[in-house]
Amino acid sequence: MTPLPPTTLLLAPMEGLLDFTLRDILTRVGGVDRCVSEFIRITDTLLPARVFTRLVPELLRGCKTAAGVPVRPQLLGSDPVCLAENAARLTELGPDGIDLNFGCPARVVNRHGGGAALLDEPELLFKIVSQVRRAVPAHLPVSAKMRLGLNDDTRAEECALAIEAGGASELVVHARTKADGYRPPAYWERVGDVRQVVRLPVVANGEIWTVADALACRAASGCSALMLGRGMVAHPGLALAILARDAETSGQVTLPSGVPVPEPVLTWAGLLPLIADFWQMVCADLPVGQQTGRLKQWLNLLRRCYPEAQLAFEAVRRFHHPADVQRWLVLQGLGLE
């Protein structure tokens, strides 16, 4: 087997799901090189520092998670001047770079010309990236995330070239169009097509749920860097499992010929304390009305990989008050009374 280069693994931004609480928990498990925050919406206002730190609280501790993993704040908008001014303000808070969102498929975002809607305007992509690049100190990277297109993928390469020409240092490509939403499949080979026309590093993203998916994505796209989203939320040990496979293929792990390396298993017993920590963070940082919903949301995704999560989800889904969740956690032996 030909050794593959080491995989760089990024944790995706996912509005309403992968926020600072889950970033904290998932990066504790290990294997993630960098996170991108959920988007900060930029309209016609120069945001004060407190807005940035509220949405990306890691800015208050060196822009890293508690586990020491860097978090790159992401901006979303369509006005090059406003984005540049806010990017400059944001750099005063010490991020390791600025990321730009050209991929959000949400209707409310697209209706106002942001996110994936910009993929029909490569010229505007260039203006946004170039003005942000000029506004940000030269030593800080400006990266971007895009989908393959709005309604089709015919302009994917054109958009990527515009982003590169604007001065971006890295490009994440979600391997679906806005019209595709999150429906499988992901078109990893089209990420490879984009990679062939640009010189900047390209990161492949979309529909990576397992180690096998990661290997297939790398083979189809040619990318040695991957961004993990829902797959990492459903399988918190996924990044470690991918790196273990890298170790096997590079000869760092010795196994009998033909025997696959076992994936590191984060057992349900090992995951429960992390769920409890997540719950405590949710209770400390989110309004009461949002707390139980966030736990249900995570347990719902965990059902893909953990049979025990099905039972937990069925128990928690009927709860509407945080005290009920707290009692349930005590019954799991977590001693949170």
Residue 263's CB is within 10 A of a number of other CB atoms, namely: 16
Residue 207's CB is within 10 A of a number of other CB atoms, namely: 20
Active-site position among 104, 159, 223, 305: 104
Residue with tokens 């961004």: 227
Residue 303's CB is within 10 A of a number of other CB atoms, namely: 16
How far is 109 from 77, CA to CA, in rounded Å?
Answer: 9
Q: Which residue, among 64, 174, 76, 171, has the nearest Cα to 132 in the 3D structure?
A: 76
Q: What tokens appear for 101 in the block?
A: 């969102």
How far is 296 from 333, CA to CA, in rounded Å?
Answer: 19
35 flagged as catalytic = no
- Grouping H, G, I as helix, E, B as strand and the rest as coil, residue 312 is helix
Active site residues: 104
